[in-house]
Structure 1
Amino acid sequence: MEFVISEDGWISGVRKVPSPNFNDRPEGEEPSLLVIHNISLPPGQFGGNAVEKFFTNNLPADQHPFFQTIAKLTVSAHFFIQRTGAIIQFVPIHKRAWHAGVSSFEGRENCNDYAIGIELEGTDVEQYSREQYEVLIALTRAIMGRYPGISSGRIVGHSDIAPGRKTDPGASFDWSYYRAQLA
């Protein structure tokens, strides 16, 4: 599996669902950090289109009590990898998605300015699927090929850039396997 990144920042062959929750990166800023997240909506439930609706500001607050607490948030990620391995891209990778929140890496704040965010459908405690790892590895290789500033040491979890506030992708994410496949 190989992904091609177009000049306009979209990955060929993946479903595109443009999110309004993005803006330009600071002038001259290229992505130099990759952040792995997890999400499931409602928490712990997989499938459906709630994540897609959330990242496009269309989450119906009345469909689940948890949705009432997040429906008005304006967030996005560049990519969402479902349990099946299907990818949805929400934001072109050269643009600034709103995934990291209050964050810092190596003393530099505002990781959204220089990071690409990938959400895995999952939780901190449930194993990710083989299909998710396969797609994540191929996608990571394509991103690293396009942005050489993203080295293996500049691939982190949300928990690494927002410690104490975020825990994802959690203990269930197999960093050793993932990094070994990138080597």
Structure 2
Amino acid sequence: MRRTGRVTMARWCPSPNFGPRPDNARISLLVVHNISLPPGKFGGDAIERFFCNQLDAAEHPYFQTIAGMRVSSHLLVRRDGLPVQFVSLLDRAWHAGRSCFRGEEECNDFSIGIELEGADDIPYTAAQYQTLVELSQQIIAAWPEITPDRITGHSDIAPGRKTDPGPAFDWSHYRKMLDSRHNEEGGG
């Protein structure tokens, strides 16, 4: 994965919204997000069309409020657990916006962003947690600077501006699953 930046288990849906990472950037952070389009509605291909600049603003009143935005994420985990990749992990996706992690500004430069199809206050599915753990393990194996304490939520790197993945995301459950898989694979 590190050589190509592609996740083999994910369906490829290339977004034009990315750029090169700065020359000195070391991938060392994993950021968990959520998204649903329109908000609170699941299914369909609106998220994919949004990340690929193909969302029709006339289709829904909310879409008019985000028309013209150019954003992306490296990966999306659908409600059924299926992953979709938009940007190579080697490139800089546009997921974090103005952000800071432990004094390091512009988290897009050194992070990988994973979106969960969801909303702050709606529980995520077991399939999503399973896929998120599998993706996290692959990413950690490829970039060992991403340690468990360098996995965070969008709300933590953009407080006051962002709230995702929200209170419905069970960090304790996710971290226990991640720990369990790590130990099963002989990592600790």
Aligned counterparts, 1:34-183, within 5 A: 34-183=30-179
In the alignment, which residue of structure 1 is the partner of 2:20? 24
- Following TM superposition, where does structure 1 have runs of at least 4 consecutive aligned residues deviating by more than 3 angstroms? none
Structure 1: which 5+ runs fail to align? none
SS of equivalent residue, structure 2 residue 177: helix
Question: CA–CA distance in 2 between the matches of 1:89 and 1:95?
Answer: 12
In the alignment, which residue of structure 2 is the partner of 1:13? 9
SS of equivalent residue, structure 1 residue 72: coil
Q: Is the 8 A contact 1:61 1:67 kept in 2?
A: yes
Identity %: 55
Q: Give 1:28 shift.
A: 3.2
In the alignment, which residue of structure 1 is the partner of 2:182? none
**Count of equivalent residues:** 179
Question: CA–CA distance in 2 between the matches of 1:53 and 1:72?
Answer: 12
Question: CA–CA distance in 2 between the matches of 1:41 and 1:161?
Answer: 22
- Structure 1's 150 and 6: CA in aligned 2 closer, same or farther, altered over 3 A? closer
Question: CA–CA distance in 1 between the matches of 2:27 and 2:69?
Answer: 24
Q: Counterpart of 1:95 in structure 2: which amino acid?
A: D
Could you say what the CA RMSD is over the residues aligned between the two structures, in angstroms? 0.8
Structure 2: which 5+ runs fail to align? 180-188
Measured against aligned partners, the alpha-carbon deviations of 1:37-66 in whole angstroms (never above 9, x if no partner) come to 000000000000000000000000000000
